[in-house]
Structure 1
Amino acid sequence: MRSNWRRLTAHYEDGDPRLAALTPLQGLRVFIMLLVICLHSGLFYNMLYTHNTRSFEYMMKLPIMILARNGTSLVQVFVLMSSFLLAYNLLLHSKTHPLGFHMIPKIWLNRIIRLSPLHLMTVGFAATWWPVLNDGPMWYVVENSAGACRRKFWTHVFYVNNLVNPDDQCLLQTWFLAVDMQLFLVTSVLTLLLARWRDRALRVLAVMVVASSIVNGLLAYYFEWTPMLYLMTAEHYRTRYRGVPSFKWFYASPWGSLPASLIGLFLAFLHFDLQEKGFKAENHKWLVRFYHCTIPLVFYFVISGAFIEHGTTRLLGALYVALERPIYSIICTVCLFGMVNNVDNIARRFYAWRGFHALGRMTLAALMLHWLLELSLHAASPMPLAHSYYGFTYDYVATVTLTYLLSVPFAVMVEIPFQRMFAAIFA
């Protein structure tokens, strides 16, 4: 236990400088996770009974709420970082060991050991003990979710819960773990393949990013998928997007996140090649200026959705579906590139704070637990929920605090022991 705690809270700034440069990614994980919890907090006021059903609808129409209505692409940062770290670590490994497809079983098993214990424990708890912990007039929502977890447990074992009967939802956030695993299998093979022809890797990946974006646009036009911006309504919150093709066949699909995953691979190959050539980002003023502008650009890109929010043409929707995630991912890629190349600014210093290291390592636990905690707190209420800004803030702070407090024992007693076991077996 003590050893696992030290592993959770360890700092590695004094180790390999190439790996030490990645420390801001832990802070970025925490920041994105806090935003995800915030966005999910708003769902519960429509999933359950409320005193005034119009209050939340009025709030969502406020101009500032475009950040929530058009902010769903923020999870693409997780996809981007996942593929970047996979490819970059493999490329670093190639400096001392030859890469080959014989590594695939070990790479895949490592990922399964990384995600499955905590994932399946949470889904198993939701399927069994969760519905009997409480009761009340709104507890039926928990019971319905638990029933879905029992019916679809096997799909979570094989990470296909987002593809097999996607309308029967267990825990809403688990679609991301399925997408992450599906893309991991693809990108690991692609990384090993492109590592043999590194001089062609960037061109191949650039073509694949463009091609995957075009295919998503064509699929959106053919099947009449609409951007999530158009679907952020109280009715869709209430049903958790059941029966909405755009959510289950694009937003929660692996092909919907494929461009971001490929952009992450592009960043890994680019960063590694430039490092090998002795590239110094601070010597390129245009790049430094662009890097400093990325966070405002992300903000402006999100609020720019207000200009097309009321556009309803089929072609406009397809174009937005095709371009939104890739453009968002490219802006975030420039930001990540500057961070991992030690280009200093306030954001990098903030994300590199030591306090984020342990919290960043608990991101998986926080992702799995926050939904259980907040839904339990709201569904246990014996009366309709009273929506207010104060109440929303109170619920959000309470959920974040409880989530990370509960994540500590899960990380120390479940997640880290399995990782150490895998490392010991394959040492």
Structure 2
Amino acid sequence: MDEKLAFVHGIRVLTMIWIIAIHTFTVGTLFVPMLVYRFEDEARKFGKQLSTQFIFNGFISVGNFFFLSGLVVTYISVPMFKRTGAPTLFSYISMRWFRFMPSMIGIICFHILWPLMGSGPVFKKYANELTEPCSRNWWTNILFINNWLLLPDMCLVHTWFMSADFQLHILSFFAILALSKTWSRGFGVVLCTSLILCGIAIPSLVNYKTNGPPMPMPFEEPDLDQFYRDLNT
């Protein structure tokens, strides 16, 4: 990577530390019912402290990786588009798809075979609950649309990020193409600004429509099925 982008590594490390801290706290404590109800009063007080907001509102941390991905792709692609011309949209998308696909297929296969790799009184029950969505809906991951379709029954929930990144990569083609042309650079700036504003407005409208809270509420049991029904109506 170019030395001018060396700071990217620092952002990656700090963001990963942030994400690990968030998951350690939320998955390890707040979303374990026994711990939540046993220490509910203390946890509520903890959530009101300013110093803990980086945990309670830390779900936005993943946005750093979207930023880094867009930054690096733009930094590399704009000069390349100017020098050699823009590739076709199909080849631009295909390169990203083939980059993501081996790891996606590998983790899906491992996930489906996971029930065969262990045993125990409740192992099969819980393992099957986690793997059945992949047995049914693996194709949504292959097409990188699992963050849009069959959301309550999503295969590998954490891979929503890869699908979102892939979709944003498709949009980036048009922005980079506009920025790489001298005659359309002004249009490229307007397009990028419009996409940023849409990225702010759309989640706000979704949150308003579904009457969602401004942040996750770990002490309330969310009705995800109702949430998705409201979102699609």
Question: Which TM-score applies when normalising by structure 1?
Answer: 0.47
1:45/1:168 Cα in 2 relative to 1: closer, same or farther (>3 Å)?
A: farther
Question: Corresponding residue for 1:94?
Answer: 81
Secondary structure of the corresponding residue to residue 127 of structure 1: helix
1:45/1:51 Cα in 2 relative to 1: closer, same or farther (>3 Å)?
A: closer
Question: Corresponding residue for 2:38?
Answer: 54
Q: Aligned equivalents of 1:111 and 1:86: distance in 2?
A: 11
Question: Corresponding residue for 1:147?
Answer: 132
Q: How does 1:32-51 map to 2 (within 5 A)?
A: 32-41=15-24, 42-45=26-29, 50=34
Question: Corresponding residue for 1:206?
Answer: 193
Q: Is the 8 A contact 1:155 1:164 kept in 2?
A: yes
Q: Aligned equivalents of 2:115 and 2:159: distance in 1?
A: 16
Q: Cα offset for 1:211?
A: 4.4
Question: Corresponding residue for 1:6?
Answer: none
Question: Corresponding residue for 1:72?
Answer: 59
Secondary structure of the corresponding residue to residue 162 of structure 1: coil
Question: Corresponding residue for 2:159?
Answer: 174
Question: Corresponding residue for 2:118?
Answer: 133
1:25 aligns with 2:8: yes
Q: Aligned equivalents of 2:168 and 2:13: distance in 1?
A: 22
Question: Corresponding residue for 2:227?
Answer: 245
Structure with more contact order per residue of length (Cα contacts < 8 Å, sep ≥ 6): 1
Secondary structure of the corresponding residue to residue 88 of structure 2: helix
Q: Cα offset for 1:185?
A: 1.2
Q: Is the 8 A contact 2:12 2:65 kept in 1?
A: yes
Q: Aligned equivalents of 1:215 and 1:51: distance in 2?
A: 35
Q: Cα offset for 1:57?
A: 6.5
Q: Aligned equivalents of 1:112 and 1:85: distance in 2?
A: 17
Q: Aligned equivalents of 1:157 and 1:164: distance in 2?
A: 12
Q: Is the 8 A contact 2:31 2:218 kept in 1?
A: no
Q: Aligned equivalents of 2:217 and 2:45: distance in 1?
A: 10
Q: Cα offset for 1:153?
A: 0.7
Q: Aligned equivalents of 2:95 and 2:193: distance in 1?
A: 28
Q: Cα offset for 1:202?
A: 1.9
Q: How does 1:272-311 map to 2 (within 5 A)?
A: none
Q: How many correspondences in the alignment?
A: 225
Question: Which TM-score applies when normalising by structure 2?
Answer: 0.80
Q: Cα offset for 1:48?
A: 5.4
Letter in 2 for 1:38: A
Letter in 2 for 1:127: I
Letter in 2 for 1:69: F
Q: Is the 8 A contact 1:148 1:170 kept in 2?
A: yes
Q: Aligned equivalents of 1:162 and 1:52: distance in 2?
A: 28
Kindly report the root-mean-square deviation, in angstroms, between the aligned alpha carbons of the 2 structures. 3.0
Task: Decide which of 73, 88, 95 is 1:103's aligned counterpart.
Answer: 88
CA displacement 1:283-338 (0-9 Å, x = unmatched): xxxxxxxxxxxxxxxxxxxxxxxxxxxxxxxxxxxxxxxxxxxxxxxxxxxxxxxx
Letter in 2 for 1:34: I
Q: Aligned equivalents of 1:54 and 1:163: distance in 2?
A: 36
Q: Cα offset for 1:24?
A: 2.1
Q: Cα offset for 1:213?
A: 2.7
Q: Is the 8 A contact 2:133 2:153 kept in 1?
A: yes
Task: Decide which of 218, 230, 233 is 1:233's aligned counterpart.
Answer: 218
Q: Aligned equivalents of 1:56 and 1:139: distance in 2?
A: 31
1:23/1:212 Cα in 2 relative to 1: closer, same or farther (>3 Å)?
A: closer
Q: Aligned equivalents of 2:198 and 2:133: distance in 1?
A: 36
1:53/1:32 Cα in 2 relative to 1: closer, same or farther (>3 Å)?
A: same
Q: Aligned equivalents of 2:3 and 2:170: distance in 1?
A: 26
Q: Is the 8 A contact 2:146 2:163 kept in 1?
A: yes
Q: Aligned equivalents of 1:182 and 1:122: distance in 2?
A: 20
Q: Is the 8 A contact 1:131 1:146 kept in 2?
A: no
